[in-house]
Structure 1
Amino acid sequence: MPELDPFTDALDGPVYVVTAASGGERDGCLAGFVSQCSIDPPRFTVWLSVANRTYRVACEAEHLTVHLLHHDDRALADLFGGETGDQVDKFARVAWRQGEGGSPVLGEVSVWFTGRIEGRIEGGDHVGFLLAPAVVCPPIEDPLPPLLRYRELHGLEPGHPA
């Protein structure tokens, strides 16, 4: 099978923190495989690594919250991407509140939405969660501050292998 790295290395998309809650547990992780996938009806897909604790929590959840990170949110990216919920309660280190379906909403992030999980898509070492918007917090700043991009995370050691 041909390597895709020459193509994907050219990409520099925004990064997100995705949070979930179910069965009295909550978790969140840094995600880069995230995209709008339908205009009508509006749908979004978040791909979570099957090795990730957030994935295990999300499998039983009804909603996920997708937080769009700005350039100044590097500390959140380090926490949610560099630590694993298997060892650390990430939410003990940040302001958050319970949102739709119990999904955690991070207090420091100004642009986010919570989506109802409508389906799951197997994709190898990641599973896609198809989301229908339930609650949307639109940008309040105009223009939107610069987004935190994948390339800016150079040197971030993931909390676990993908």
Structure 2
Amino acid sequence: MYVVTAATADGERAGCLVGFASPCSIHPPRFMAWLSTANHTYRVACRASHLAVHVLRDDQEETAALFGGRTGDDTDKFARVDWRPGEGGAPVLADCRAWLVGEIRERVGGGDHVGFLLAPVEQSPPGPSDPSGAPLLRLGDVTDLTPGHPA
């Protein structure tokens, strides 16, 4: 599972829990993140130049619940986590396994989700960001989570 975050030029921020994301090209490097069109983050991402994609550890169910179970329509999620602005203003979460910030190169329709094709421009330092080697958060870890928006 991933947390995808976005910010507009006027400072509006959003972030959501995402299950559909993947590297999709080696040369040039590209990453695709799919956002539900019902989601507040989607609406912000449509006006953003960059997105940040964060990999969570399996002990970060609280972060997953914040970004997956609350809607940015009525909750300032960033008041509850440590973060900093990355390239293009995309919020980079301080406590995650790994992250990348990508410039949005293209948007691809895909039914009730839209794919954001990202060209990575910034990423977490090489090597394990989490020396404990904690496992990653997976879909099975969040199946009991009630989404902030219907998918």
Q: TM above 0.5, one fold?
A: yes
Which letter does structure 2 place at the counterpart of 1:154? Answer: T
* SS of residue paired to 1:72: coil
**Residues 42-53 of structure 1 aligned to structure 2 (within 5 Å):** 42-53=29-40
Summarize deviations over 1:17-69 as a string: whole Å, max 9, x none: 00000032000000000001111111000000000010000001110000001
Q: Secondary structure at the match of 1:161?
A: coil
Q: Which residue in 1 is equivalent to 2:23?
A: 36
- Change in Cα spacing, 1:109 to 1:118, as seen in structure 2 (3 Å) is same
Superposed displacement of residue 72, structure 1: 1.1
- Mapped to 2, the partners of 1:91 and 1:143 lie a distance apart of 26
**Letter of the aligned partner of 2:7 in structure 1?**
A
Q: 2-side partners of 1:83 and 1:142: how far apart?
A: 30
> TM-score, normalised on structure 2?
0.94
Q: Could you tell me which residue of structure 2 aligns to residue 132 of structure 1?
A: 119
User: Unaligned regions of 5+ residues in structure 2, if any?
Assistant: none
Matched, 1:105 2:100: no
Q: Which moved more, 1:138-147 or 1:50-59?
A: 138-147
In structure 2, the CA distance between the partners of 1:160 and 1:63, relative to structure 1 (3 Å rule), is same
Rounded to whole Å, the distance in 2 between the matches of 1:144 and 1:55 is 32
Change (3 A) 1:141 1:91: closer
Larger radius of gyration: 1
Per-residue CA deviation, residues 106-132 of structure 1 (Å, 9 max, x unaligned), is: 111141000010100000100000001
Structure 1 residues 123 and 83 mapped into 2: Cα distance closer, same or farther (>3 Å)?
A: same
User: Distance in 1 between the 2:43 and 2:84 partners?
Assistant: 21
AA paired with 1:90?
Answer: K
Deviations 1:83-137 (A, max 9, x none): 0000100001111111111000111114100001010000010000000110011
| Uncovered stretches (5+) of structure 1, i.e. residues with no partner | 1-14
Q: What is the deviation of 1:153?
A: 0.7
Using structure 1 for the length normalisation, give the TM-score. Answer: 0.88
Q: Secondary structure at the match of 1:146?
A: coil
Q: Distance in 2 between matches of 1:45 and 1:110?
A: 18
Evaluate the alpha carbon distance shift between residue 151 and residue 110 of structure 1 in structure 2; reply closer, same or farther with a 3 A threshold.
Answer: closer
2: distance between equivalents of 1:60 and 1:156? 28
| Post-superposition offset of 1:142 | 5.2
Paired position in structure 1 for 2:3: 17
What is the alpha-carbon distance in structure 2 between the residues aligned to residue 85 and residue 94 of structure 1? Answer: 14
Pairwise CA distance, 1:143: 7.0
Q: Which residue of 1 aligns with 2:51?
A: 64
